[in-house]
Amino acid sequence: MSEIQGLKKLQARLRHSFKDGGLLQTALTHRSFHSENRAVSTGHFERLEFLGDAVLGLIVSEMLMRSYADADEGTLSKWRASLVNEATLSEVAKSLELGQYLNLGRGEADQRGNLRPRLLASAFEAILGAVYLDGGFEKVKSFLEVELTSRIQNLSTETEYASDFKTRLQEWSQKRYRNVPEYVLLSAEGPEHAKTFRCEVLIEGQSKGIGTGNSRKTAEQDAARIAFTQIERK
């Protein structure tokens, strides 16, 4: 399949044909490729990722409110977090076969068949940002309604809450100490495209757990998991 055919196939999956082809190319370009190919690369997708994250949050919030008219704010927040997190977004990106269209640097390209969830989730948000700029809010909304409706219909309070250790730890801390946990970044090591983050969670100034992950968010979630597991054992 030629590059042109591939991009046409992707746009069909997105249900949007880009008027600005350069915008789509930017959305598909990782920082690693841009750094290695500045002579031909016009930019990378991180600014579009920032925009896509905001658009995604708004649309998912609206979809949840329409689908669950009786759910309270706390439940809606937990469900939204489960739908816009790295794991879910990377799964949707995989279903779109997004990885095969990305412009990647040499290190990332070697792992194209098994790309990191963080990279795939970021690229997916960038695509949403690009669709928004090129086609408007309703284009993104109609696409996400197709991709996320079944996930929204199958949400389970118990399942989603059980995997969200940061929320569980915060609720425990507020009940016990009337205070919220504090997360501290200890380190971020490794090459730009494959960093390992270490984060510590503190409650009342005392360390309760140190977690690791391929993003700060996942490292914080891991630290919260370790802390909450220790609390449950007591």
- The residues annotated with a catalytic role in the active site are 53, 125
Give yes or no for a contact between 163 and 88, defined as CB atoms under 8 angstroms apart.
Answer: no
Angle at 130 between CA 127 and CA 134, to 5 degrees: 140
DSSP assigned state of 38: T
Residue partners of 79: CB distance under 8 A and separation at least 6:
64, 68, 71, 152, 155, 160
Give yes or no for a contact between 84 and 60, defined as CB atoms under 8 angstroms apart.
Answer: yes
Give yes or no for a contact between 199 and 219, defined as CB atoms under 8 angstroms apart.
Answer: yes
Torsion of CA 78, 84, 85, 90, to 10 degrees: 150
